[in-house]
């Protein structure tokens, strides 16, 4: 990850970023709690085709055509062997968030390495 910028208190920018991401992961169960509290069918933007049709009155053709193309690796934020109930669902939600972050961070890290090699060794030193 190259050069880390230090703040006045000695904490690197990267460390602050990972702490912020960790806090968001721990807060992720709010995505299942808030809709339940307000009687909503799901979290904002996580609608299936039937829910989109209820909200908008129709489903765009492109959405219909591509809906089955991608399947989430952890459907409904559930992990294998997950228990039912608030604690089980919350732990599954957190685990799914960690898996998603790990996959995304890994892909971004690999992509950054590939792109930095193409630019040459001096590319990361020029700020």
Residue 4: the pLDDT is 52
State the 10-residue block means of pLDDT for the chain, 127 residues long: 56 87 82 73 74 88 86 75 79 84 91 84 53
Residue 107: the pLDDT is 93
Residue 106: the pLDDT is 92
DSSP per residue over the chain, as a string? --PPPB-TTS-BHHHHHHHHHHHHHHHTTHHHHHHHHTT-SSSTT---HHHHHHHHSS--HHHHHHTTT---TTGGG--TTPPSSHHHHHHHHHHHHHHHHHHHHHHHHHHHHHHHHHH-TTGGG--
- pTM score of the predicted model: 0.55
Q: What are phi and psi of 60, to 5 degrees?
A: -55, 145
Residue 41: the pLDDT is 66
- Cβ 31 vs Cβ 93: under 8 Å: yes
Residue 22: the pLDDT is 86
């Amino acid at each position: 990850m190259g050069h880390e910028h230090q703040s006045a208190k000695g904490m690197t920018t990267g460390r602050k970023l990972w702490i912020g991401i960790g806090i968001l992961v721990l807060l992720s169960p709010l995505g299942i709690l808030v809709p339940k509290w307000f009687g909503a069918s799901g979290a904002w933007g996580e609608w299936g085709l039937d829910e989109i049709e209820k909200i908008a009155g129709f489903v765009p053709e492109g959405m219909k055509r591509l809906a089955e193309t991608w399947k989430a690796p952890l459907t409904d934020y559930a992990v294998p062997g997950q228990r039912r109930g608030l604690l089980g669902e919350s732990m599954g939600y957190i685990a799914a968030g960690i898996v998603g972050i790990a996959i995304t961070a890994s892909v971004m890290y690999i992509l950054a390495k590939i792109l930095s090699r193409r630019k040459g060794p001096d590319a990361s030193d020029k700020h």
